[in-house]
Amino acid sequence: MLWVDKYRPKTLDQVLVHEDIADNLKKLVTEQDCPHLLFYGPPGSGKKTLIMALLRQIFGPGAEKVKVENRTWKIDAGSRTIDLELTTLSSTNHVELTPSDAGFQDRYIVQEIIKEMAKNRPIDSKGKKGYKVLVLNEVDKLSREAQHSLRRTMEKYSSSCRLILCCNSSSRVTEAIRSRCLNVRINAPTEEQITRVLNFIGKKEGLQLPVGFAARIADKSNRCLRRAILSFETCRVQQLPVGIVISSFTSLLY
Amino acid sequence: MAPVLQSSQPWVEKYRPKRVKDVAHQDEVVRVLTNTLETSDCPHMLFYGPPGTGKTTTALAIAHQLFGPELYKSRVLELNASDDRGINVVRTKIKDFAAVAVGSGHRQGGYPCPPYKIIVLDEADSMTEDAQNALRRTMETYSKVTRFFLICNYISRIIEPLASRCAKFRFKPLSEEIMSNRILHICKEESLSLDAEALSTLSSISQGDLRRAITYLQGAARLFGSSISSKDLISVSGVIPQEIVGALFAACRSGNFDMANKEVNNIIAEGYPASQMLYQLFDVVVKADDISDEQKARICKSFGEADKCLVDGADEYLQLLDVTSNTMRALCNMPQEIGYGT
């Protein structure tokens, strides 16, 4: 398993970088309730990790048992029927999909699929939450029409369904959607934070890191944690004898 | 299970006015509609105005008040952008619904129940032009038994023939006073404490959009408990702290490109949206006293171009850097760009 996945924090308590945001998210879901959320931030800042951890916080370990499904949807659009194939990741309580995969037909995804999912109430009510969570990736890549369709859907089915939206830049998400969500800005981790994470991983892997090695990677990573961890692992895979002059393998970092 | 659902309802829905006269700040509309309630007669209507001013609320409230819960389902058709509204739907669904005659107007259970149906077309500006054209004649043919309520943000996107068939009402952005009243009312109901500073922050960051204000309030209440300060509201709303905007502007003034580049890098890494940065930088530039009008014009022109590019999906970092360097060029009176073609 890649280190990026191996050391991905599973719960909000384990989060190393965005402790303050994680704390806030914990407060959000303790009240048996959760607003629509919009996560935005640069790549490799930990949006997805936080979302998965949040789902676990809401629904317990069951949220991790996901199954990948490749479903074909038949959508009746007036005179013709459209076949759309879409990969979804779902557990009993949440469904995750990337509507922009459908290209210019993303409007139908939002209109039909989300509506259908939102209408299906969660089945068991023995102590479980009375709502489902839909995770939508790359909402900034959705077309205008699709975003328009989303706005009223969000309100109409708000009693049975919560949306978690995830995107890189909130500029491309229309104002109407932003004003319906609680916006959570995820900033890129600072270099010190990246250094800390790298040292943490190094210790777990039982590696002896040369002084300044982690800081060097952090410096080259452009504040992207994923890239930092990947380059770190690359260095490891190259089996460079620990203690070698650092400048000789910084070329790997690109 | 029911109580859980009750509490999980967004406040925006929970405090949506149920009756027309509760709608805040839109006096003309309320007057006309109260009249409608008494005489149970009304024209086609077109509501337009910025988001969060109560357009949908008003339309739904009048429909509920006219028909009551029992007849509502059979008399009111609500279509919005989440429903497919191509020309086909106008030709079939809307036409079919509009064509059905209804019984004569007898009061039922305290509701006027006038002898017509209502079709609410929410977000009508996102309908295609073809669909709007198909609607023209439908509106007239069935005007005996059907009234249309069109709701939109931009009246310029409604084709003229449709607009001229309706009584138009502009919904204005809510004044700070009305907004504060409403917010305080919600605070009392939810037992929140909000100091005066936080209240004025809330009104200024939401810019007359009551829905946004309520969403921010609920977000802040969830995150920070029952006493909310203005700092909490800013962190929820996604507004960029003034220091950061100030730092970028100062870097532009200094004329040092490397420094500005560093600021831009930092802003992008912190995840602040570039469009929001443009709005706030724009406020700073317009309000600055020591910049000449010509400089302001040059700066604003680059803002406009960058905004367009961002909407079209350009890279945030490059656009922000472009704006920054153009601002720097204007502020430090560096020579104008040399045209490419000449």
Q: What is the pLDDT of residues B42-76, one digit of tens each?
A: 888 899 988 888 888 888 888 888 888 878 888 88
Residues A147 and A80 grouped into a single domain = yes
Side by side, the strands of the sheet bearing A132-137 are A67-77, A80-90, A94-97, A132-137, A161-167, A37-40, A182-185
Inter-chain contact B273–A149, Cβ cutoff 8 Å? no
- Which pLDDT score is estimated for A32? 64
Q: Is A34 on the interface with B (CB under 8 A)?
A: yes
Residues A36 and A137 grouped into a single domain = yes
Structural domain total, chain B = 3
Q: Which residues of A touch B223 (CB under 8 A)?
A: 24, 27-28
Q: Which domain holds residue A140?
A: 3-185
- Which pLDDT score is estimated for B16? 85
- Which pLDDT score is estimated for B1? 31
Q: Which residues of B touch A77 (CB under 8 A)?
A: 84, 86
CB pairs under 8 A between A and B: 128
Residues B119 and B44 grouped into a single domain = yes
Q: What is the mean pLDDT of chain A?
A: 79
Domain final position from A185, A203, A221: A185
Domain final position from A131, A161, A185: A185
List all residues 6 or more positions away from A43 whose beta carbon is below 8 Å from its beta carbon.
Answer: A168, A224, A226
Q: Is residue B93 part of a domain?
A: yes
CATH code at B281?
1.20.272.10
Maximum alpha-carbon separation in chain A: 69
Residues A128 and A15 grouped into a single domain = yes
- Which pLDDT score is estimated for B323? 92
Q: Express each pLDDT in B300-329 by its tens digit.
A: 999 999 988 888 878 888 999 999 999 998
Q: In chain B, whose CA is at the least distance from the CA of A30?
A: B222
Those residues of chain B that have pLDDT short of 70 are: 1-8, 81-85, 103-109, 336-342
Q: Is A78 on the interface with B (CB under 8 A)?
A: yes
Residues B222 and B132 grouped into a single domain = no
Placement of tokens 């009312």 in the chain: B185
Which site among A12, A152, A167 would you substitute to test the B interface, given the most B Cβ atoms closer than 10 Å to its Cβ? A152
Q: Which residues of A touch B241 (CB under 8 A)?
A: none
Q: Is residue B277 part of a domain?
A: yes
- Which pLDDT score is estimated for A166? 92
Q: Which residues of B touch A152 (CB under 8 A)?
A: 80-82, 122-123
List all residues 6 or more positions away from B113 whose beta carbon is below 8 Å from its beta carbon.
Answer: B40, B66, B67, B68, B71, B105, B106, B107
Structural domain total, chain A = 2
Q: In chain A, whose CA is at the least distance from the CA of B311?
A: A172
Residues B62 and B20 grouped into a single domain = yes
Residues B204 and B289 grouped into a single domain = no
Q: Which residues of B touch A187 (CB under 8 A)?
A: 269-271
Inter-chain contact A172–B88, Cβ cutoff 8 Å? no
Q: Express each pLDDT in B232-247 by its tens digit.
A: 888 777 788 888 899 9
> Which range among A5-14, A152-161, B29-38, B261-270 shows the weakest confidence by mean pLDDT?
A152-161
Residues A119 and A217 grouped into a single domain = no
Q: Which domain holds residue B225?
A: 176-237
Q: Which residues of B touch A175 (CB under 8 A)?
A: 51
Q: In chain A, whose CA is at the least distance from the CA of B7?
A: A33
- Which pLDDT score is estimated for B213? 86
SS3 A85: strand
- Which pLDDT score is estimated for B322? 92
Nearest to B211 among A42, A79, A179 (CB): A179
Cα B114 → chain centroid: 31
CATH code at A49?
3.40.50.300
- Which pLDDT score is estimated for A124? 55
- Centre a 10 Å sphere on the Cβ of residue B301 and count the other Cβ atoms it contains: 12
Query: In this structure, what token pair is assigned to residue B305?
Result: 């171009």
Q: Is B263 on the interface with A (CB under 8 A)?
A: no
Q: Which of residues 130-169 of B touch A (CB under 8 A)?
A: none
Residues B210 and B254 grouped into a single domain = no
- Which pLDDT score is estimated for A208? 77
- Which pLDDT score is estimated for B3? 37
Residues B121 and B31 grouped into a single domain = yes
Residues B211 and B264 grouped into a single domain = no
Mean pLDDT, residues A180-208 taken together: 85
**pLDDT of A115 strictly over 80:** no
Query: In this structure, what token pair is assigned to residue A3?
Result: 């280190």
| CA within 13 Å, CB half, A29 | 22
Inter-chain contact A169–B51, Cβ cutoff 8 Å? no
Nearest Cα to Cα of residue B179 among B201, B149, B154, B162: B201
Inter-chain contact B122–A152, Cβ cutoff 8 Å? yes
Residues B263 and B160 grouped into a single domain = no
- Which pLDDT score is estimated for A126? 55
Nearest to B212 among A77, A171, A179 (CB): A179
Domain final position from A137, A170, A185: A185
Mean pLDDT, residues A170-190 taken together: 83
Task: Provide the shortest C-alpha distance from residue B309 to chain A (in Å).
Answer: 11
Which site among B8, B123, B205 would you substitute to test the A interface, given the most A Cβ atoms closer than 10 Å to its Cβ? B8
CATH code at B90?
3.40.50.300
| A73/A86 Cα distance (integer angstroms) | 8
Percentage of chain A with pLDDT > 90?
1
- Which pLDDT score is estimated for B4? 39
**pLDDT of A248 strictly over 50:** no
Q: Is B126 on the interface with A (CB under 8 A)?
A: yes
Q: Is residue B17 part of a domain?
A: yes
Residues A59 and A110 grouped into a single domain = yes
The residue ranking higher by pLDDT, A50 or A28, is A50
- Which pLDDT score is estimated for B305? 92
**pLDDT of A151 strictly over 60:** yes
Residues B35 and B135 grouped into a single domain = yes
Say if residue B341 is exposed, middle or buried (CB neighbours under 10 Å; 0-12, 13-18, 19+): exposed
Q: Which residues of B touch A156 (CB under 8 A)?
A: 82
